[in-house]
Amino acid sequence: MDTLHGRSERLVILGVAESDAHAVANHLIAMQLREHGFTVVNLGVCTPLADFADALDRHPRAEAVLIGSLNGHAHQDLRALPELRAAGRLRRPVVLGGNLSVGSRTTDADLQRLRDLGVDHILPDAGGLVLLLDMLDAAAREPEPQHG
């Protein structure tokens, strides 16, 4: 287990978006994270956004919520994010990865629409995931800047 920060456990919530049944990448990412010492709460394929929120309620120590979407329907599947955030839920970095629009090219406009929903980070390639989590973790641990 990672003891770099004096903690016994780093935990993330992982799953695939509601309309998407692609299991392979999901399992590979879970394996990769476990290999790096993370505890992975894997909600698997076809997971509604509300289930991610419920999982975070059950595991409030989770560092981030990782959502995969390979079928191009990410925007549709994540459309309830603003509503859940307004209700005080899913208050952790939401990281989205995969193929994020219908068709082979994802445009800047596609990505902006996802950010407008409240998606915090978009990763085209799972290879950068652990680095991103380490950066988010470090940022979360930095002391509040002192003013005065």
Partner 1 sequence: MADLHGLEISARTAAALPDWDDTVAYLASRPLPAVEVLRAADAAARPVVQPRCGVGGHGEMLGLLRELESAGPGILSVTIDSHTRLLRFDTASALLRRRPADLNGYPLVTHGWQRGRELTEAVAVPLEVRHGSPDGRDLFAVALAAGITSYEGGGIGYNLPYSKDVPLAHSLRAWQQVDALCGTLAASGVVVDRELFGTLTAVLVPPSTSLAVAVLEAVAAAREGVRCLSVAYPQGGEPHQDIAALRAVRSLAARYLDPAVEVFPVLHEFMGVFPRTPEYAGLLILQGGLLARLGGAAKVVSKTVQEAYGIPDAAANAAGVRTAALGTSDLLDFVRYDESRVAEEQHWIEREVAELVDPVLADGDLFAAVETAFAEGRLDIPFSASVHARSRVVPRRDRDGAIRYADSGSLPFSRAVLRRNAALLRDPEGARPRSLIDAATADIHYFLDKESRLPLRAPYGANSDTPPRY
Nearer to partner 1, 19 or 85 (CB): 19
CB of 94 vs partner 1, minimal distance in Å = 21
Spatial strand order in the sheet of 94-98 = 38-42, 10-16, 65-69, 94-98, 121-123
* Tokens read off for 105: 């090219």
State the DSSP H helix or E strand holding residue 50, giving kind and residue range, or none if neither.
helix 49-58
Strand pairing class (65-69; 38-42): unpaired
User: What is the nearest approach in angstroms of partner 1 to the Cβ of residue 15?
Assistant: 10
Applying CB under 8 A, the residues found at the interface with partner 1 are 21-25, 27-29, 31-32, 35, 44-46, 70, 99, 104-105, 126-127
CB of 121 to partner 1, least distance (A): 18
